Chains A and B, each alone.
Chain A
């Protein structure tokens, strides 16, 4: 598999949200607007790429019985680094997403890629895989956030095109499930090739 294929695979065929259904907690909780979804996706992308690279580097030296603790320590380190950086340089986004950033540690996408890919491949391939899956996650969260924002608040990327409120249910949890379900149906109708 070429490096480009590794990247595009995460976007469509192995899309973490619509195909693999991984990382549902941040998906449902943070996609109240397109910007929130985009920010959460990029935060996960950052952690995913770095942790994939670090884990592929340490995997050959890690005894099997302690591989999960080692991976979690590595992932938690990058998440905390990200948290410091966001607090310092993007306080606005941190104020909105702050609660969900530490939860990236237990996001099954990150640990899932470490287990399924990074510990068996080289550093460069693992980085490409991280970029692909991260971009797939970012794109899915942005689309889901955009749909919920349009329906729920009558705005897109913060630009409001109706006066008053939208259908508030779509901003809340039930709307998240509904939108996710319908988007999943559409995604699989167009991209699934069996």
Chain B
């Protein structure tokens, strides 16, 4: 029933199949590229909105270094003054990169945090997106009063049960974001 396996047949069939498949993929990519970009832009916008106070005017993406890596941040201007910053902070988690959006007010207090993407273990580290007790401790976290380390490392951060590595990574991401913003503010004060 099937065709003879000579070189000509094999080359023709494989090339044809690959051509058709590439064409299908190209078509689907073209169709979904816009929705994917929209979805990602919306996720980014939602996460910035979630970590900053309401109102005011949001800047576009500005670049800075977080934890030694190039990243981006956004400023929220209320009544002509910068009221808060949203910083994208990437660290290595348990399963791969953990990307956070950290909102920091101009007096250096964490306003809120949100997870942009992660590859933590479902049911364990992945709880960093759902565990209310873990998430809520970041709202109003003042790094000048509390120690930015998990309790196991003699700090003040409550870790997620059985997910110390994820909790440490999350804490480090927040710390890097705070340091990055302090560097920016330090630079402005010196001007």
Show the binding face of A for B, using Cβ within 8 Å: 30, 32-33, 36, 58-67, 69-70, 73-74, 76-77, 80-81, 84-85, 87-89, 91, 95-96, 99, 149, 152-153, 165, 168, 171-172
- Find the residue from A64, A74, A77, A153 having the highest chain B CB count within 10 A: A77
Nearest opposing residue in chain A for B160, CB measure: A165
A-B contact pairs, 11 of them (CB 8 A): A60-B2, A61-B2, A61-B3, A63-B4, A70-B13, A80-B25, A88-B36, A89-B35, A95-B117, A153-B123, A165-B161
Residues of A within 8 A of B124 (CB): 168, 171-172
Known A33-B123, A84-B36; contact A70-B14, beta-carbon cutoff 8 A: yes
Known A80-B25, A168-B124, A171-B124; contact A85-B32, beta-carbon cutoff 8 A: yes
Beyond the given A32-B121, A61-B2, A91-B40, could you list 5 further A-B residue pairs with CB under 8 A, ordered by the A residue number? A64-B2, A70-B14, A81-B25, A171-B121, A172-B123
Interface hits, B30-83 → A, CB 8 Å: 32, 35-36, 39-40, 43
Q: B13 and A66: CB pair below 8 A?
A: yes
Known A63-B6, A153-B123; contact A84-B32, beta-carbon cutoff 8 A: yes
Interface hits, B89-130 → A, CB 8 Å: 117-119, 121-124, 126
Q: Secondary structure at chain B's binding surface: helix, strand, loop or mixed?
A: helix
How far in angstroms is the closest Cβ of chain B from A47? Answer: 14
Q: A88 and B25: CB pair below 8 A?
A: no
How far in angstroms is the closest Cβ of chain A from B27? Answer: 9
Q: B3 and A63: CB pair below 8 A?
A: yes
Known A65-B5, A171-B124; contact A87-B13, beta-carbon cutoff 8 A: no
Residues of B within 8 A of A95 (CB): 117-118
Residues of B within 8 A of A69 (CB): 14
Bound: A99/B123 CA distance, A? 16
Q: A63 and B10: CB pair below 8 A?
A: yes
Residues of B within 8 A of A81 (CB): 24-25, 28
Q: B17 and A168: CB pair below 8 A?
A: no
User: Is B21 interfacial (CB 8 A cutoff)?
Assistant: yes
User: Is B184 interfacial (CB 8 A cutoff)?
Assistant: no
Residues of B within 8 A of A80 (CB): 25, 28
Q: A70 and B122: CB pair below 8 A?
A: no
Bound: A42/B28 CA distance, A? 20
Residues of B within 8 A of A87 (CB): 32, 36, 39
Q: A99 and B36: CB pair below 8 A?
A: no
Q: Which of B10, B25, B40, B121 contacts A66 (CB 8 A)?
A: B10
Residues of A within 8 A of B123 (CB): 32-33, 149, 152-153, 168, 171-172
Q: B122 and A36: CB pair below 8 A?
A: yes
Q: A33 and B119: CB pair below 8 A?
A: no
Bound: A76/B13 CA distance, A? 17
| Nearest 4 pairs of A and B residues by beta carbon | A171-B123, A88-B35, A32-B122, A65-B5
Residues of B within 8 A of A66 (CB): 5, 10, 13-14
Q: Which of A36, A84, A96, A172 contacts B28 (CB 8 A)?
A: A84
Residues of A within 8 A of B18 (CB): 73
Q: B122 and A74: CB pair below 8 A?
A: no
Q: Which of B17, B29, B40 contacts A73 (CB 8 A)?
A: B17
Q: Which of B14, B40, B161 contacts A168 (CB 8 A)?
A: B161
Known A65-B10, A89-B35; contact A99-B5, beta-carbon cutoff 8 A: no
Residues of B within 8 A of A88 (CB): 32, 35-36, 39
Nearest opposing residue in chain B for A65, CB measure: B5
Bound: A136/B113 CA distance, A? 41
Bound: A99/B118 CA distance, A? 11
